[in-house]
Chains A and B, each alone.
Chain A
């Protein structure tokens, strides 16, 4: 099967990791509507499969914190920091304790659920702009 998933370098790609399908569907569609390329993963295991593919460029991972599977959002974030430090991470969660703990794992702190999709887009834009700025100065 052919795909152009890897061919574009202009359009940023967001990996959305969310086990609640209706939430994943809504935020993914919103991000696509904003012009982003979106890859959907239902849990951290799927996300890592995607992240380990050298032909797929991911700019930002937007992940739920509480997820079933071998890793929750915290563990996924740590994995990304260790293995794909070039990728920005945004965590979102609905448990106050989890949200608080996530502050150490993503640059601007976590997004509490429920979130407004535009808040996610604003965060993505800031992270991508900050990354571009860092690359210019380095």
Chain B
């Protein structure tokens, strides 16, 4: 699945502050519209998908995606957890954040970047995404050049 994807480089090479592309996967049109509008307002590029099948079509198309923010409970062949598992294995450079209105005891992959129970504060989501990119930009102590 990922073999057809032309971009597996470190997303930080392209994702400068606010220019990362976020794939919002949400079957509720109002929630999708609202979070997408807020993320665009913050300067992010946003691609919208109504379910996991649409999300995979976008990822497989070669569209550069840095973050997948997905609802868990969705109709279709996969729910958000299933989508997250595929993204983590086939698109390992993509950050995955989950959201749900139900705090089910689903075991999440260690590579899941975050979980936001609904209703969530979009500003906190934005802060989480920013902190993820900022932390990965911060050089490790061994990488600091000593004067």
Contact = CB atoms under 8 A, between A and B. Distances in A.
A49 B27 CA distance: 13
Interface residues of A, number: 20
A70 interface: no
B2 to A, nearest CB: 18
B19 interface: no
Contacts of B36: 40
Interface of B: 29-38, 40-41, 47-50, 54, 57-58, 61, 63, 119-122
A25 B45 CA distance: 12
A82 interface: no
A50 B29 contact: yes
B78 to A, nearest CB: 14
A57 interface: no
A133 to B, nearest CB: 30
Given A22-B61, A40-B48, A46-B29, A3 B54 contact: no
